[in-house]
Amino acid sequence: MTSTRERQRAAARARLEREMAQRAAAARKRRQLQASIGAGVALLIVVAGTVWLIASLGDDETTTPQAEDDAAAVTCVWNEVPAEQRSGTTKDVGVPPTTTPPTSGTQIMTLDTSFGEIQVTMDLSEVPCTAASFHHLASEQFWDGTKCHRMFPGMLQCGDPSASGDGYRETDGTGGPSYQFANENLPVDERPAYPAGVVAMANSGPDTNGSQFFFIYEDVELSPDYTVLGQVTEGLDVIKEATEAGHDGAFEPSPGGGHPNSDIVINSLTVSEPQ
């Protein structure tokens, strides 16, 4: 028969075995949990690495340009001239659309003149609002049938919607649309600031652009206060021919120059869609 001491020893061994088994089970659980956490961390690292690679090496057409487009987005402000400040030479055709203009590509301005065709390329990355204004005004036949009303050495000024018909009037050069807009693309670091072939906006002070512009047919050194609208890509010879007869000196001594001796008529002015 088993003695009491032997039964006690057997019971102690059993308790010890149960405790060892419990400890082993707990250790297994800890190892499993640690392995699970480690796998999770490793997965996160892989996922994060994958995201980083996608962000860094992703399709340039879908990721990077979008960020650039957002950064380059502009809003054009059309400052309407109060009714009481408008004159008989103001031509009201409304304002351009308030949608954000494109800031890449080009638009082509084509002038059919009494001396031949002139084409001007506008870079939308440099003059998005000016191009939007010209596109709007051209769609309203704003300049059709008007004359270039002023010239002086190297420059021919056009764009007054009221400058038309026979002869010239004292008001020629005062006309424009019923709104103004801010300067763009000022050639502050260029010398000469306005080389031959440039087309620039006329203004009566900072951020007062309207519809008048001037062709530069010889290098001109002006203060860089006038928006460079674009570049004559065809027809610079047409402008030189049109200005050969000189001017009548009507604006001498200040602001200078005069009406062209030859009528230079803009039969039509159109602006292409962005390209």
Same structural domain for residues 144 and 182? yes
Same structural domain for residues 114 and 181? yes
Same structural domain for residues 106 and 28? no
- Distance, C-alpha 16 to centroid of its chain: 82
Gap between the Cα atoms of 127 and 121, Å rounded: 11
Q: Give the DSSP H or E segment for 161.
A: none
pLDDT at 25: 52
Which CATH number fits the domain that encloses residue 144? 2.40.100.10
- How do residues 204-235 score in pLDDT, each as one tens digit? 999 999 999 999 999 998 999 999 999 999 99
Q: What is the mean pLDDT of the chain?
A: 82
Coil/strand/helix, residue 33: helix
Gap between the Cα atoms of 124 and 103, Å rounded: 5
Positive or negative CA dihedral for 13, 17, 18, 22?
Answer: positive
Coil/strand/helix, residue 55: helix
- List the structure tokens of 22: 């419990």
Same structural domain for residues 47 and 87? no
Same structural domain for residues 92 and 219? yes
Q: H helices within the chain, ranges in order? A: 4-57, 64-72, 128-139, 236-242
pLDDT at 31: 45
Same structural domain for residues 104 and 170? yes
Same structural domain for residues 159 and 256? yes
Place of tokens 């707990």: 26
> CA nearest 241: which of 272, 268, 262?
262
Place of tokens 């380059």: 72
Does residue 71 lie in a domain region?
no
Q: Which domain holds residue 110?
A: 81-271
- With a cut of 50, list the residues of the chain below it in pLDDT: 1-2, 4, 12, 16, 24, 27, 29-71
Number of folded domains that form the chain: 2
- The answer to whether 122 touches 131, Cβ cutoff 8 Å, is yes
Same structural domain for residues 41 and 173? no
